[in-house]
Structure 1
């Protein structure tokens, strides 16, 4: 049926002003068999003419619902898309095909209950047909558009909060609490994801102390930077902790982790590098296994930091079936600091050229910070900050760094 909107006075073109980007477009959906509704020059708050399109049914509405439409005015007398459906069925269909558009419904005063139900279904507002005039319609359109924008913004905010909560839960799995009760070792860690606005990446680490007093530490890196790689890193970290507490070590542990990776990875091209260290209960010796991972850095009082031997390393996990990973014995001494890291720390560029920091540059950088007396968290923070500065901005790869330190004569915790 036709919607009676009174004709407003004509406004000269000089008064309205050409501002197509600021004008609103209204799509009227009603079932007038005479050819639709003619609405003359309804103006918005700034004096711009609200453009009108008319559709006689839902099929035409779908065709005319282009991105430049801001609001839909739906006559609740329009039949729904299914047999026997009324205007509420038509409203549900409009909301389905136009989820980001403001929607107004038009009805008679006798259908007040149905108008209220339309708002509960999802319309921004309802208008009574007998009370409608150009000014009321113009104001209703503006309010409906702004209300829809606010609803979308609120939805995005709620969605962002839920995503942040989920990422935080994953982050807690990625960044574990070290289990070092009873050990005289000090622990520090630093972690930065490479993905923009991400809370976690494909790097992972962990440290636990087994009942025999041995401290086990590891750090790893799943190739890639997406959420699938991050999830796989969490799985490998949890598997490593469970297997370590169950008594596995060295080659047996890495072989089992490779089986976990082969089952859980999303595609066969995914692999992971890993460095594991098991430190004897007296803190003076360690067993080192490398699976395609950079060698740790050790520093002792009175001497410069240096890389541990890495010539006996094995392949990254997931590259070769039935691979082996030799375990190398390392003498640590009485007082020392051992730094495990992922390649994100050493692959940042230096200045504007293509040269990268590399392991040698990292060793020089760490020694400069040690000469300044930095240790623990301060040493790691300064190192990651300098790597970012040398790179000219954020590092593109994930970065994880773990530091274990021991001072001779320190009394273990009770």
Structure 2
């Protein structure tokens, strides 16, 4: 039976490489991308394959693997976990990384000595894998190599042909571009999360109050955003409560959030005032310093208790979601706020304060939109769902309110950041 024509072979090659690109393009996690690359090249280019992505210091960072026979995957894992790198293997790996060119080993010694394979399970796994030849292809992008695609042929499968080497190099090139992007993405995500967590400090302890805060970052396929909360003890004895969300994601949003959070707490502490006037001063700072920050925020001021134990709550919203009030009798109320402009818009407009009185046992809750727009639902639907989720939580400690709310609304995580701040007036 005649083999494929040159035109058919080229069409098959192009289709294979297009499949590699399409399958990897959607991934943002390095481990997932390495795993998929290994599975894409098996069995087309090897009986089994490994993808090793080096860490920043040159040490092995991640290793993914695939085998044409799922029943032998356990043997691959046993070999990878128990092997000892022999000098010969290290030379081949180093050569591939330094030269940027593939290294072909047309024969693999099936009886490696104890310096490479310990006796017992590792050697038995190696024997069952039955390697006969291998090809090491460097993974490189933006001028540097950061890993290796290892393609292993078993049994009587012949060593790689020049055409297969060329195809493996192109597949590795496409895979390396994606892997390099995921590595950069991961670094940015870790920096943003570290920065944000360092700023979201525990709330102060205030007599007569329980204050609980929660922050949950977005899921693995979305960058951390600019959500934040804050609670500040003011010089006159009042307690300032703040929640907000800077537009954007990643390090830039986290850095902008840090600036905005600092501006709000500094201005509010230095000159205790109404929430509306505090937001006005923050707006002037953002405009005068040309920060380019755009954010929603809600500032609330909880006054000292009156003779009957009640406390006046005043708040002003810069385009943020309204507060929610959970009473001890399980009644839940949305404290409506007019839709006033976001911070940073540089549009002149007068801000207003809203006011209510909290009774002992009441809990006021401030949240960001990650807890409302779950599953991309609209704000009205999300707020109604939030009210339902809060029913029956009246009278519980503030920590319990936060935990049960998150469990009810986002048990499986969310594609957006979530920040929540709950304050409960302790019963007399």
Q: TM-score range by the shorter chain?
A: 0.5 to 0.7
Question: Runs of 5+ in structure 2 lacking a partner?
Answer: 1-42, 50-91, 110-130, 149-182
Write out per-residue CA displacement over residues 370-411 of structure 1, whole angstroms, 9 at most, x where no aligned residue: 4xx64322221121122124xxx43222111100011232xx
- The verdict on how the C-alpha distance between 1:383 and 1:160 changes in structure 2, with shifts beyond 3 A counting, is same
Q: Are the equivalent residues in 2 in contact too, given 1:180–1:208 (CA < 8 A)?
A: no
Write out per-residue CA displacement over residues 261-309 of structure 1, whole angstroms, 9 at most, x where no aligned residue: 4467875xx5211111111111511211111111101122235010113
CA distance in 1, matches of 2:239, 2:134: 75
CA distance in 2, matches of 1:284, 1:166: 40
State yes or no: 1:290 paired with 2:312. Answer: no
- The verdict on how the C-alpha distance between 1:345 and 1:358 changes in structure 2, with shifts beyond 3 A counting, is same
Which residue does the alignment assign to 1:361?
385
State yes or no: 1:331 paired with 2:357. Answer: yes
Which residue does the alignment assign to 2:253?
229
State yes or no: 1:48 paired with 2:133. Answer: yes
Give matches, 1:15-94, under 5 Å: 20-21=45-46, 42-45=106-109, 46-48=131-133, 69-70=137-138
TM-score, structure 1 length as denominator?
0.57
- Determine which structure has more spread, i.e. the larger CA radius of gyration: 1
Q: Secondary structure at the match of 1:323?
A: coil
- The verdict on how the C-alpha distance between 1:200 and 1:101 changes in structure 2, with shifts beyond 3 A counting, is closer
- The verdict on how the C-alpha distance between 1:309 and 1:226 changes in structure 2, with shifts beyond 3 A counting, is same
CA distance in 2, matches of 1:246, 1:355: 35
CA distance in 2, matches of 1:355, 1:299: 19
Q: Secondary structure at the match of 2:350?
A: coil
Which of residues 99, 104, 110 is equivalent to 2:145? 99
- The verdict on how the C-alpha distance between 1:383 and 1:21 changes in structure 2, with shifts beyond 3 A counting, is same
Q: Secondary structure at the match of 1:349?
A: helix
Q: Are the equivalent residues in 2 in contact too, given 1:255–1:323 (CA < 8 A)?
A: no
Q: Secondary structure at the match of 2:271?
A: coil
Question: By how many angstroms is 1:43 displaced?
Answer: 1.8
CA distance in 2, matches of 1:40, 1:328: 74
Give matches, 1:206-225, under 5 Å: 206-225=230-249
Q: Are the equivalent residues in 2 in contact too, given 1:279–1:285 (CA < 8 A)?
A: yes
Q: Are the equivalent residues in 1 in contact too, given 2:296–2:318 (CA < 8 A)?
A: yes
Q: Secondary structure at the match of 1:99?
A: strand
Q: Secondary structure at the match of 1:295?
A: coil
Which residue does the alignment assign to 1:274?
297
Q: How many residues align?
A: 280
Write out per-residue CA displacement over residues 226-284 of structure 1, whole angstroms, 9 at most, x where no aligned residue: 321122112211221111110243233212322444467875xx521111111111151
Q: Are the equivalent residues in 1 in contact too, given 2:216–2:419 (CA < 8 A)?
A: yes
CA distance in 2, matches of 1:49, 1:295: 63
CA distance in 2, matches of 1:201, 1:344: 10
Where is the helix percentage greater, Structure 1 or Structure 2?
2
TM-score, structure 2 length as denominator?
0.55
- The verdict on how the C-alpha distance between 1:200 and 1:42 changes in structure 2, with shifts beyond 3 A counting, is closer
Which of residues 413, 416, 424 is equivalent to 1:394? 413
- The verdict on how the C-alpha distance between 1:394 and 1:177 changes in structure 2, with shifts beyond 3 A counting, is closer
CA distance in 2, matches of 1:314, 1:375: 32
Which of residues 181, 202, 225 is equivalent to 1:177? 202
Q: Are the equivalent residues in 1 in contact too, given 2:138–2:145 (CA < 8 A)?
A: no
